[in-house]
Structure formats: structure tokens, C-alpha cells
Amino acid sequence: MRVLGVDPGLTRCGVGVVEGLPGRACRLVHYEVVTSDPDTDLAYRLLNLDERLTALLAEHRPESVAVERVFSQHNVRTVMGTAQAGAVAILAAARAGLPVQMYTPSEVKAAVSGNGQADKAQVTAMVTRLLRLEVAPRPADAADALALAICHVWRGGTRDRIAAAVRRAR
């Protein structure tokens, strides 16, 4: 099962692709951070993100996409950029016909480290260990996206099958 995870952000959007099976070790396929300049036009930034994500979906052909659920406790300006980038990611996946699952940061942290309150350094360390990497994935946005993808491999199989069934029923 191949999953593409997205840690949405307008200025820095983490993307990570892993392959694996529930309960088994995952293999790293790809990671990167899609960046955009805060001084450029919003339309241009969203288009750039959409084009890059669409290209990554075509290149890596994941079976499903996991996106971090935007959280309301952040400040509103950050939330808006994150919500916009998240919408672009969800839409890119939907346009590619892929099921999308959202996870909260604590679900992801709990899945990869056993602790829903783990900090960024702990998540990065666990991702590095779980994917058996020699070097930790940097920056943290990329590690978060990989953690999302691992979380979905381990938790998402059943959900995907349900989502696919609902999709067919429509």
C-alpha cells in the first residue's frame, strides 16, 4: 500500500510518500517540501502547489492520500493559509480519483511514537527509525508528512475500503 502524506502549508507544504502494510515496516519512496514566497500573489501560490502535488501524484501513484486536519487553536491568519493549502491538497487527490483521509496531529503522533503529545524532534526521530533512514528527513514539515503517510498505512486500510465503497455507491 502506497500513501502520500501532506502536511499542508502555504509557505512550506510537506509531502512524503511511503509504502508498507499495516503492522509492518514502511519503506521511504520520496519526500520534499513545496515552498512558495509569501510576497507573491495568492492565486500563483495555490496554482504552484496544485501543479506540484498533481505532478507528485502522477509520478508516485499512491493508492490514497493522508492530509493533516487543520486545527482551530492556531492563530486565524495561519489557519487560513493552512486551510487553503489543505483544500488544494484534498482537491488534487480527489481530482486524481484517490481516497483522502484526514488525521489530527495527535492521531499522527500517537501512531508513530505511541504518544499523542510527542514534540517535533520525537516525531522526526521516530520517522527516521521507522523508515530505517541513515539521515533524519529535514525540514520538520517533510518528517510530519512522512509521519502522516505512515499513520495512514497503519490505520487507514479499513477506512480506505469503506471510503471506496461509499464512492462506488454514489
Q: Which range touches its own copies (CB under 8 A), out of 18-26, 77-85, 127-135, 142-150? A: 77-85
Residue 134 marked in a binding site = no
Residue 63 marked in a binding site = no
Taking the complex as a whole, the smallest distance from the CB of residue 74 to its own copies amounts, in Å, to 9
The DSSP output letter for 4 is: E
Taking the complex as a whole, the smallest distance from the CB of residue 159 to its own copies amounts, in Å, to 11
Strand order, beta sheet including 12-19: 27-35, 12-19, 2-7, 64-68, 100-103
* Burial class for 136, CB neighbours closer than 10 Å (0-12, 13-18, 19+): middle
Query: Is residue 87 involved in binding its own copies (CB under 8 A)?
Result: yes
* Burial class for 2, CB neighbours closer than 10 Å (0-12, 13-18, 19+): middle
Within 46-75, the residues that bind its own copies by CB under 8 A are 46-47, 50, 70, 72
Taking the complex as a whole, the smallest distance from the CB of residue 116 to its own copies amounts, in Å, to 21
Strand, coil or helix: 12: strand
Residue 144 marked in a binding site = no
Residue 68 catalytic? Answer: yes
Terminal alpha carbon distance of the chain = 24
Interatomic CA distance for residues 151 and 136, integer angstroms: 18
Residue 19 catalytic? Answer: no
Residue 144 catalytic? Answer: no
Cite the active site residues: 7, 68, 141
Binding site for its own copies (CB under 8 A): 41-44, 46-47, 50, 70, 72, 76-77, 79-80, 83-88, 90-91, 93-95, 99-100, 102, 163, 166, 170
- Binding residues for Mg(2+) are 7, 68, 141
